[in-house]
Structure 1
Amino acid sequence: MRNFFLYVPVGAGMVYAAILYNSRGLLTLAGAAMLLPPFFLCMLWSVRRHLEGRITVSLLPGTGDYRIRFCLENKSPFYLPDIRMKILLKNKGNGKKHKIRLAGDVCPGQKAELTGIFQSPEFGLWQAECRKCFCYDCLGLFRLKKEWKETLQFMVFPSCYETNLKVGIRTRLFQSDSSWYHPRTGGDDPAEVLKLREYRRGDRMNQIHWKLSAKNEELIVAETSMPMGCNVVVFLDVDTGKMDRKTGIACWEVLHTLSQEMVNQECFHFLVWYEKETGRLRRRAIREQEDLTEFWNEILQHETGRCLFLQEYEQEFRGESFASVILWKQELELYVNDRFLIQIIPEQVKRQLLELELIV
């Protein structure tokens, strides 16, 4: 609006000069200049009515930064030369806030993205919110506000580092009850057929698919799949209410690194923690990336505590078997099958994980 108050005296001066010097050309120019503001105002009003948008968030590969986008679509027949907005980012856990300013333009009938970078955000559940934006005309005479009320929640994971974790043969071949089966490895579970093939010398009689064999008039063998249970149990022996920030970051980074590496190697596992509110153990089966995302969403909503995990686990989940146990303690001590492996120093997490050799 500041430009508008400068524009009006200039336009009035042009009209005065046109009358004073009796100049038709100058009068025509002054008349056109006086008609521009209402045209720009109508244009902005139309664009504001037909403007749609949404927030998207994505991780920049190889960095800890996140790209914040506001995707706009201008369904009006007019060009929007300038649009500005603020994206408010809030950590749902500790309440920390961060603002990102976005600006750009949108062509008529087209889409555009306003992009900003959220540098190295702290681990946790974040909410991105845009409450309003401001639309400007070409000369900056008018500014119209548009209410958005767009929100998006996204998870910022702990840093994940390189480590030397290997899944042992015993754990790999350990057969526990499961409704998941390996897509390539054969086993002895008749509930899931891996593939059908012709009979070969040495095949067991109980592998023959008798119905298909009778239908095809030749022996057909059904290779069964190996069930993929959660053969590794990871106990999170941590009291979140008694950890300082530096220790907490290191704790989550190590846990995320180990769990992510097991996911990469198709080693299904349970992440187990003690929930203070209910006084019981909680667990999440981790088989794929989505499970790990759900785990972080869930654990951030509750305060965890410490207990005698192995005893509590055997009572809570009676009869369940597993091949290997990882105990990750609040003191940043790592135990594998009751054997102390390493104590992590918060300032040296990346180096220690790289040097770590862990077989589960």
Structure 2
Amino acid sequence: MKRLITYLIVIAATIYTAVLYGSTSFLMLFYVELALPVFLLLTLIPAVRHTSIRMELPIPVVEQGQKTPVMLHVTTGGFPIGGRVAVQVKGKLPMGQKDEKTWFYTALAGSKKTAKIKAEYQSRCVGSIRMEISRVWCYDFLGLVALPLSAKYWKALEPETLLVLPRISEVPVMVSRQSRDFAGESEEHSKERGGDDPSEVFQIRDYQPGDKLRSIHWKLSAKTEEMMVREQSMPLGCPVDFYLDLYQPAAVHRRKDETQRDSYLQILASVSHSMVVEGCRHHVIWFDSRKGDVCRYRIENEENIFEMLFQLGQLSVYHDKKDLQELYRQKYHETPGVTCLELTTELTLKKNGEVEARYSGDVSDIERQLGAKELVV
């Protein structure tokens, strides 16, 4: 726009000079200046018709506060020398926040068929961000004429997903004996100790005094001529159910929501990570308002936490209250864990229905708050 305004000023100055001095040369120059944008437009049209673009994220995971490289591959059919391409990338943020829009630019030579825009992107929030191309403009070398690239050249591209990891802080966690010995219901079984689940065999061993007769492996005992016992496995259930209550009154101000969003995900990741460090398996459970269904993810190690953050996807709040625990029981029909944790959008952490901790939305102070009180599960 600045270049166009400058060019219009130059045209006005040219015609003013031509009229003031009666100069035929300046009058001819004025006509050339008027015709130049039309000429540039005619040379730009065929180039735009043969231009396509795609986006690539070489590093799809980045820590909060860091920048990630963005590669935009532009293929042309021959651009005017010195022409430029401007690409707008839109990032769809979690929890219904306003989209981020960033412009990237590159120059194209007439002989070049391809070009790469190497840029850096830094999100203002954490979570799973869906990035896609939203606009593309092609410019002549003077920047006077611009034509939009048809959406058919990039709308069919799959959005790229960028995971911005929240800062993980240490939370003092003590796992009770009841949680450590919790079996529950699970398709996963212990490789270190036996239990009472007859669906899977833990090991075959020699008979020991006190073993039940029904556990004797009679066929193997007859073959080896020694008493052998089939020891049953122990299911590795999750003693902690960690619910994410994403209910939020419709009247909550967006700015307040923005200040709490990062803290919410930091609390989630920090509590989950600290339980993993202490060897406490748990389920993270939430209601997906887009699917209209309850979702859960089993957390056993640090890698599961990152996968869970991807699973959360475009985490969004809802404005009608949900009985999340009842919906969960109706879907999974499993015995509840020893401890029920619940994190609300007001940054209140509840344990078995009682308030365990309240956190402020101050991101700079959240680490101190997380380490201030021990969590017993």
TM-score norm. by structure 2 comes to: 0.60
| Stretch moving more, 327-336 or 350-359 | 327-336
Alpha carbons of structure 1 residues 51 and 333: separation in structure 2 relative to 1, 3 Å:
closer
2:178 counterpart SS class: helix
Other-structure match for 2:181 = 173
Other-structure match for 2:87 = 86
Residue of structure 1 aligned with 2:170, choices 160, 163, 171:
163
1:101 aligns with 2:104: yes
* Aligned pairs for 1:125-274 within 5 A: 125-129=129-133, 132=136, 148-149=153-154, 150-154=157-161, 156=163, 159-164=166-171, 165-194=173-202, 196=203, 199-200=205-206, 202=208, 204=211, 206-211=214-219, 222-241=230-249, 242-243=251-252, 244-245=256-257, 246-262=259-275, 265=279, 267-273=281-287
Distance 1:351 1:330 in 2: 19
Q: Give the letter for the 1:325 counterpart.
A: C
Q: Give the letter for the 2:350 counterpart.
A: Y
Per-residue deviation, 1:293: 2.5
Distance 1:247 1:269 in 2: 23
User: What's the RMSD between the two structures over aligned residues?
Assistant: 5.1
* Aligned pairs for 1:59-78 within 5 A: 62-70=63-71, 72=73
Tell me the number of residue pairs that the alignment of Structure 1 and Structure 2 aligns: 312
Q: Give the letter for the 2:369 counterpart.
A: Q
Q: Give the letter for the 2:201 counterpart.
A: V
Alpha carbons of structure 1 residues 151 and 285: separation in structure 2 relative to 1, 3 Å:
closer
CA contact (8 A) 1:273 1:304 kept: no
Distance 1:210 1:82 in 2: 84
Other-structure match for 2:371 = 354
Alpha carbons of structure 1 residues 109 and 254: separation in structure 2 relative to 1, 3 Å:
same
Distance 2:350 2:286 in 1: 15
Other-structure match for 2:7 = none
CA contact (8 A) 1:276 1:305 kept: no
CA contact (8 A) 1:87 1:100 kept: yes
Residue of structure 1 aligned with 2:298, choices 286, 292, 300:
286
Distance 1:320 1:51 in 2: 54
Alpha carbons of structure 1 residues 128 and 68: separation in structure 2 relative to 1, 3 Å:
farther
CA contact (8 A) 2:294 2:327 kept: no
**Larger RCO, structures 1/2 (Cα 8 Å, 6+ apart):** 2
Alpha carbons of structure 1 residues 330 and 115: separation in structure 2 relative to 1, 3 Å:
closer
Taking every aligned residue pair, what percent have the same amino acid on both sides?
19
Q: Give the letter for the 1:305 counterpart.
A: K
Alpha carbons of structure 1 residues 60 and 126: separation in structure 2 relative to 1, 3 Å:
closer
Residue of structure 1 aligned with 2:349, choices 334, 337, 354:
334
Per-residue deviation, 1:209: 4.5
Distance 1:208 1:50 in 2: 74
Other-structure match for 1:31 = none
Per-residue deviation, 1:343: 1.5
Alpha carbons of structure 1 residues 252 and 60: separation in structure 2 relative to 1, 3 Å:
closer
TM-score norm. by structure 1 comes to: 0.62
Other-structure match for 1:116 = 120
Give CA-to-partner distance per residue, 1:40-65, whole Å, 9 cap, x none: x9xx98xx979885422635655433
2:370 counterpart SS class: helix
Other-structure match for 2:321 = 305
Alpha carbons of structure 1 residues 89 and 349: separation in structure 2 relative to 1, 3 Å:
same
Distance 1:250 1:283 in 2: 22
Q: Larger strand proportion, structure 1 or 2? A: 1
Distance 1:319 1:306 in 2: 19
Per-residue deviation, 1:305: 2.6
CA contact (8 A) 2:247 2:344 kept: no
Distance 2:147 2:183 in 1: 65
Give CA-to-partner distance per residue, 1:221-277, whole Å, 9 cap, x none: 555432123322234445323543223443343234323444564512242459699
Stretches of structure 1 lacking an aligned partner (at least 5 in a row): 3-40, 138-142
Other-structure match for 1:23 = none
Distance 2:116 2:226 in 1: 63
Distance 1:305 1:157 in 2: 28
